[in-house]
Amino acid sequence: MKKIPFYKMQGSGNDFILIDNRRSVLKGTALADIARTVCDRHYSVGADGLIVIAPSRKADFKWRFLNADGSEAEMCGNGSRCAARFAYLKKIAGRQLSFETLAGLIRAEVGKNSVKVQLTGAGALRMDLKVSLDGGTRTGHFINTGVPHLVYLSDDLQAEDVIATGRMTRYHALFKPAGTNVNFIQVQGRRKLAIRTYERGVEGETLACGTGSVAAALVAGTLGLVSSPVQVTTKSGEKLIVSFKRDGEGFTDLFLEGDAQVICEGNLYI
């Protein structure tokens, strides 16, 4: 069997398996199959996603990000923070670094207790969408922060049926063919909100979602409910800081900041 070194890391409760593939240790293996195998929490290490580090000609490295179901995603906010710390620890890059994703070039700064990443931007904003669900219609707000997100405002976050409503929304005709991640948020102050997220690719609620937290802050900012910087409390209880500037109908200077920690390292036997 092939022996493959790996790190397992977490960012705000989102956990990932990271593999340095700059020397083609995964050559001849299908990444989707590996993701499904190693992310299984019963038969392998278990994680929300797989991050594969590859060489780049225009940045410190390039990544491939795969969800637990084997699907490839353009971007992952919490995963990007883990990738940045991984690159620093493995001496792939310094504390100031950049890397390629399908969503564009991501810049990051690795600190002692946190990692700050600058997202490529946000777009496709669609406010006040009427989403028909079993039992009625709900108003949501759509934005793409590297991956698609729908945001529902909530008066009682703990009472939300995230799985049922999230699944119906994720596969709704409004968001075909790609589908969407689904966020439920409750504003707690001018610079505070709480969030719960149903993630496509994981097909369930996760403890945190970085791009979802950014989407939540931008939507709440557009509605005039919060101002930058925004502290976002995730399902895990960890807090992320989202900062941004409004630029007409768009946004600039998008940053996501929070911790990213190594859980363990070892070898996978594929």
Angstrom distances, CA of residue 6 to CA of 45, 149, 268: 10, 30, 7
Helix (H) or strand (E) holding 228: none
SS3 assignment, position 209:
coil
Straight-line distance from the first to the last Cα atom of the chain, in angstroms, rounded to the nearest whole number: 6
Report the chain's C-alpha Rg in angstroms: 18
82 is catalytic: no
209 is catalytic: yes
For residues 78 and 234, the answer to whether their CB atoms sit within 8 Å is no
Residues 6+ away with beta carbon under 8 Å from 101? 62, 63, 65, 74, 75, 80, 120, 146
CA separation for the pair 230, 191 (Å, rounded): 5
Catalytic residue (one of 39, 82, 209, 264):
209
Block residue for tokens 């490839």: 72
The CA angle 165-102-129, to the nearest 5 degrees, is 30
Catalytic amino acids? 76, 209
